[in-house]
A = this chain, B = another copy of it.
Amino acid sequence: MTTPDFGNVQAIDVLNLKSLEKRAEALIGRGEFGYITEGSDDGYTKWRNTNAFKDVHMLPRVLQDVAEPDQSTTLLGEKLKSPLMTAPIAGNALAHPSGEIGLAKGAKEAGIMMAQSTFASKTIAETAAVSAGAPYLFQLYMPKDWGYCQYLLDEARQANALAIVLTADSTLGGYRELDVINRYHLKGKIANLAGYNTGENGAGAGSLFKESMQKLNLELIDKLAAYSHLPIIIKGIQTPADADAAIKAGAAGIYVSNHGGRQLDGAPGSIECLPAIAKVVAHRVPIIFDGGVQRGTHVLKALALGADLVGVGRPFSYGLALGGWKGVKAVADHLKMEIFIAMQLTGCQTIDAVKQMHCTTSFEI
């Protein structure tokens, strides 16, 4: 086995997550940057994802005997050092040559969960070799080809994935105007598909959705679980009804997300969907959340409104672009620092205490 090539790596300063975007824009190609940063249509849902956090007000407690708050938690029986996760993003090689192996190394060094996309720039095996025991989820875009699906599930299991995350919100790509303006077509191979089609040319990423199944339904959950013997988490849930139906159909977890505002525009901010879903889920299965997280306080708000694990997407890609795996780690470390301060200042010694925190919201929950 060859030593992984992490490319050009350097420590980076992180003032805050938001500031990384402009710095990364200067490094990444215009088309690639557009693809990473954009939301669909008018970008309303992407905008709302972050801005809806403003409408969640934490009511901090004082005199709670808190010092050195503990950020550890658990998911599906796995002990985790942090409630943070790198949300799955396609083609991280657009940001940095090391792609997902840089992401995996950064996540591992920072002690946070990694989630890898089917459409990664690196194969599951390559990433797994770096992760090597660190907590790991595999995000499945359901292929039309069942053989290819079996191959992906086998690889994920081989990589000790904690669970399979079935993407339910992207049976087709959202309408994204920056790609049209930039005449940008996603470049680079789909490493996993190339791995499956040994000897063939890898399909271009432009054909992602040609490869993917549109007619997803609840029966898939059993089918994937039966073959993989892994827990199945459904990603892209935005309604209590879907959360309930998925759990009844065998889902081991609910992943509340609107795909970073890249799919359906005109959906609410992701955090607005969380409380009603958490109420219906009622702790039967864990809830993963992503959507617009930029601050440690956003992580606390998501946990307080029902999440068990909180994904962060684009900021990790920007960190990767700026410093390779050390950039990824720097982003995670910055967030952990903000979470630490916020836990101390809200009077929360543990993540369980955060989950009990009272918040007020201007949207109905």
A65 located at the interface, meaning its Cβ lies under 8 Å from any Cβ of chain B in the complex: yes
- Is the CB–CB distance between B65 and A216 below 8 Å? yes
A231 to nearest B CB, angstroms? 17
- Is the CB–CB distance between A263 and B345 below 8 Å? yes
Closest 9 CB pairs of A and B: A67-B214, A62-B168, A266-B297, A57-B268, A264-B345, A65-B217, A67-B215, A172-B344, A59-B239
Question: CB-defined interface of A290-312 with B at 8 Å, one 1/0 digit per residue?
Answer: 00000111101100000000000
A279 located at the interface, meaning its Cβ lies under 8 Å from any Cβ of chain B in the complex: no
A184 located at the interface, meaning its Cβ lies under 8 Å from any Cβ of chain B in the complex: no
Interface residues of A in 67-114 (CB under 8 A from B): 67-68
Bound: A344/B263 CA distance, A: 10
Bound: A68/B209 CA distance, A: 13
Bound: A214/B62 CA distance, A: 11
Given contacts A175-B337, A341-B175, whether A268 and B59 have CB atoms under 8 Å apart is yes
- Is the CB–CB distance between A63 and B266 below 8 Å? no
**What is the interface size of chain A, counting residues whose CB is below 8 A from a CB of the partner?**
70
Interfacial chain B residues near A205, Cβ < 8 Å: none
A194 located at the interface, meaning its Cβ lies under 8 Å from any Cβ of chain B in the complex: no
- Is the CB–CB distance between B58 and A266 below 8 Å? yes
A230 located at the interface, meaning its Cβ lies under 8 Å from any Cβ of chain B in the complex: no
- Is the CB–CB distance between A169 and B345 below 8 Å? yes
Segment at the interface with B among A27-35, A240-248, A281-289? A240-248
Given contacts A62-B169, A345-B264, whether A364 and B358 have CB atoms under 8 Å apart is no
Interface residues of A in 26-66 (CB under 8 A from B): 41-42, 44, 53-54, 56-66
**Contacting residue for A63 out of B42, B181, B245, B272, CB 8 A:** B245
A156 located at the interface, meaning its Cβ lies under 8 Å from any Cβ of chain B in the complex: no
- Is the CB–CB distance between B65 and A175 below 8 Å? no
Bound: A310/B146 CA distance, A: 40
Interface residues of A in 154-172 (CB under 8 A from B): 168-172
